[in-house]
A and B are shown apart, each in its own frame.
Chain A
Amino acid sequence: AQSVTQLDSQVPVFEEAPVELRCNYSSSVSVYLFWYVQYPNQGLQLLLKYLSGSTLVESINGFEAEFNKSQTSFHLRKPSVHISDTAEYFCAVSFQGGKLIFGQGTELSVKP
């Protein structure tokens, strides 16, 4: 069965520090990979996605994620976080389209 595991439920960091949110998936077929962000009391917004091609994908607000097929990972990174990055982050997979299977979420808390 396909599954997604986010290894950290909470990640506290100080402002301007680097951060990595870890995501591993389990699948025997090709997948599409996504990171979504949920700000407090809001819906989910797409942060970035990997469908094919370059394994390093970037978002417009400084996040990046690298698809590693051999390690079945899609970790999210940012070299310097801001207070405004405080949110819940969800890794998700879809199997060539269709329903998304989500990880458990990682709460990123950025402190001044």
Chain B
Amino acid sequence: DTAVSQTPKYLVTQMGNDKSIKCEQNLGHDTMYWYKQDSKKFLKIMFSYNNKELIINETVPNRFSPKSPDKAHLNLHINSLELGDSAVYFCASESVGGRNTQYFGPGTRLTVL
């Protein structure tokens, strides 16, 4: 069974559209994250949720809105997509206390045309 899963794996869309990426973890973890990997492979934190509550928002444009319906899911909705949003988006989860490993999903490659 996949520990952290993301859908879709690939997403190609036009500028100005709204799209969502879904993330689910079956590890029983309390904390989930979204990271963005740019074209130079640099990884940066975007958001973190702990038990459905937002705890980190790293100055991400408000076109990005994470939603956590329950602690096993953290979805990312993006409004008015721009060319610069093209990247690979990774979801990750971590057990409470933060001492443990973050487990990453396979990534969603978003291409904005």
By a CB distance below 8 angstroms, the chain B residues around A99 are 33, 45, 48, 56, 58
Q: Which of A13-21, A39-47, A73-81 contacts B (4 or more CB under 8 A)?
A: A39-47
Give the CA-CA distance A90 to B105 in the complex, in Å.
16
Give the CA-CA distance A94 to B98 in the complex, in Å.
9
Q: How large is the interface on A (under 10, 10 to 19, 20 to 34, 35 or more residues)?
A: 20 to 34
By a CB distance below 8 angstroms, the chain A residues around B61 are none
The reply to whether B101 and A49 contact each other, CB–CB distance below 8 Å, is yes
The reply to whether B45 and A32 contact each other, CB–CB distance below 8 Å, is no
The reply to whether B106 and A43 contact each other, CB–CB distance below 8 Å, is yes
Give the CA-CA distance A43 to B33 in the complex, in Å.
14
Q: How large is the interface on B (under 10, 10 to 19, 20 to 34, 35 or more residues)?
A: 20 to 34
Give the CA-CA distance A102 to B106 in the complex, in Å.
17
Chain B, Cβ-Cβ closest to A99: B45
Q: Decide if B43 is an interface residue (CB 8 Å cutoff).
A: yes
Could you list 15 examples of A-B contacts with CB < 8 Å?
A32-B99, A43-B104, A43-B106, A45-B104, A49-B101, A51-B99, A90-B43, A98-B98, A99-B58, A100-B43, A100-B45, A102-B43, A104-B40, A104-B41, A105-B41
Interface residues of B (CB under 8 A from A): 33, 35, 40-45, 48, 56, 58, 90, 92, 94, 97-99, 101-107
